[in-house]
């Protein structure tokens, strides 16, 4: 364990930098920052001397807390503009919550190295999807995606989101376009579903982490580090609009490929740390 008396200044600077980069990329690429926050937090905590046994759990729990705060603002903005499909939210929400609870319970029972393997593998799969996917002008409903199938997939999304520390929009938005929802409405509904992921996820990580509270970093409630959340939220929200403005001047295909490259780098770096 590192000397905690020397950590605050270093950690604060790191967290501010992580928030700025994650917020900028979130605005630029149109995805939640969790996919960036989790590896950045893990490597930061590890480099400062905190035990790797819990570093990945803390990174995921804290990332979900950030998603809960920033996602709530985004979801409310979409809701005011009529961009949230309440029928999907009511239909998928309970299934996602159940999946999140199961995913958080599973994550708390496995070693940090297993979470790293899952994160690195899923990140690489998402990178491949982002690199080769194409925008659909008019989404067409896929008949095999019945309500029961949708709820089953939603529960799976909840499990994966809880284990990766992300809001799940990168999975739910494509799914909603497959059932015929226009992209703008899918994005707004995805933001609302992200809150449904984050709230039970944060609670679950707090509770499960309290069992090992004596070995966690200062300012932690279970696997959620309050200092991390407090530093990342304002800095990420400050830089997100900058990314949004820049994104309007770049082709969507190029943005997807840039994001794919970033994810490949994150995945490879995570695999190298195993």
Q: What is the pTM of this model?
A: 0.85
pLDDT at 30: 60
State how far the Cα of 55 lies from the Cα of 216, in Å rounded to an integer.
9
Q: What token pair was written down for 201?
A: 């996820």
Is a pLDDT exceeding 50 seen at residue 3?
Answer: no
Task: Give the helix/strand (H/E) hosting 143.
Answer: none
DSSP line for the chain: ---GGGHHHHHHHHHHHHHHHHHHHHHHHTS-THHHHHHHHHHHHHHTT--HHHHHHHHHHHHHHHHHHHHHHHHHHHHHTT---HHHHHHHHHHHHHHHHHHHHHHHTS-HHHHHHHHHHHHHHHHHHHHH----SS----TT--HHHHHHHHHHHHHHHHHHTS-SHHHHHHHHHHTT--HHHHHHHHHHHHHHHHHHHHHHHHHHHGGGGGGSPTTEETTEEHHHHHHHHHHHHHHHHHHHHHHTTS-HHHHHHHHHHHHHHHHHHHHHT-
Among the ranges given (3-12, 15-24, 55-64, 140-149), the one the predictor scored with the smallest mean pLDDT:
3-12
Choice between 133 and 111, residue whose per-residue pLDDT is larger:
111
Between 97 and 112, the higher pLDDT residue: 97
pLDDT category at 137 given cuts 50, 70, 90 is: low
pLDDT of residue 2: 44
80-84, 106-110, 156-160, 165-169: which is most confident: 156-160
Q: Dihedral, CA atoms, 22, 154, 163, 124, nearest 10 degrees?
A: -60
Mean pLDDT value across residues 55-71: 90
Over the stretch 211-269, which tens digit does the pLDDT of each residue have?
A: 876 678 888 899 999 988 998 999 888 888 887 777 667 776 777 787 788 888 888 88
What lies within 8 Å, CB to CB, of 177 at 6+ separation is 136, 139, 183, 186
Residue with tokens 């300012």: 219
Q: State residue 95's pLDDT score.
A: 96
What are the residues facing 224 on neighbouring strands? Answer: 221
In tens, the pLDDT along 183-194 reads 778 888 888 998
């Amino acid at each position: 364990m590192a000397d905690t008396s020397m950590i605050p200044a270093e950690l604060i600077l790191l967290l501010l930098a992580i928030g700025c980069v994650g917020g900028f990329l979130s605005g630029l690429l149109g995805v939640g920052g969790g996919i960036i926050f989790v590896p950045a937090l893990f490597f930061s905590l590890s480099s400062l001397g905190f035990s790797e046994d819990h570093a990945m759990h803390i990174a995921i729990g804290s990332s979900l807390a950030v998603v809960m705060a920033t996602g709530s603002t985004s979801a409310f903005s979409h809701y005011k503009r009529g961009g949230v499909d309440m029928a999907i939210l009511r239909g998928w929400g309970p299934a996602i919550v159940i999946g999140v609870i199961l995913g958080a319970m599973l994550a708390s029972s496995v070693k940090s190295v297993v979470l790293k393997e899952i994160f690195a593998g899923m990140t690489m799969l998402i990178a491949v999807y982002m690199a080769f996917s194409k925008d659909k002008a008019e989404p067409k409903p896929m008949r095999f995606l019945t309500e029961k199938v949708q709820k089953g997939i939603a529960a799976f999304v909840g499990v994966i989101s809880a284990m990766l520390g992300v809001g799940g929009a990168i999975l739910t938005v494509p799914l909603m376009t497959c059932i015929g929802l226009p992209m703008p409405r899918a994005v707004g509904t995805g933001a609302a579903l992200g809150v449904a992921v984050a709230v039970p996820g944060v609670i679950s990580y707090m509770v499960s982490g309290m069992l090992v509270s004596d070995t966690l970093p200062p300012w932690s409630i279970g696997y959620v580090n309050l200092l991390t959340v407090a530093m990342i939220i304002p800095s990420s929200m400050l830089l997100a609009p900058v990314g949004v403005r820049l994104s309007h001047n770049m082709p969507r295909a190029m943005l997807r490929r840039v994001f794919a490259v970033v994810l490949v780098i994150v995945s490879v770096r995570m695999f190298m740390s195993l």
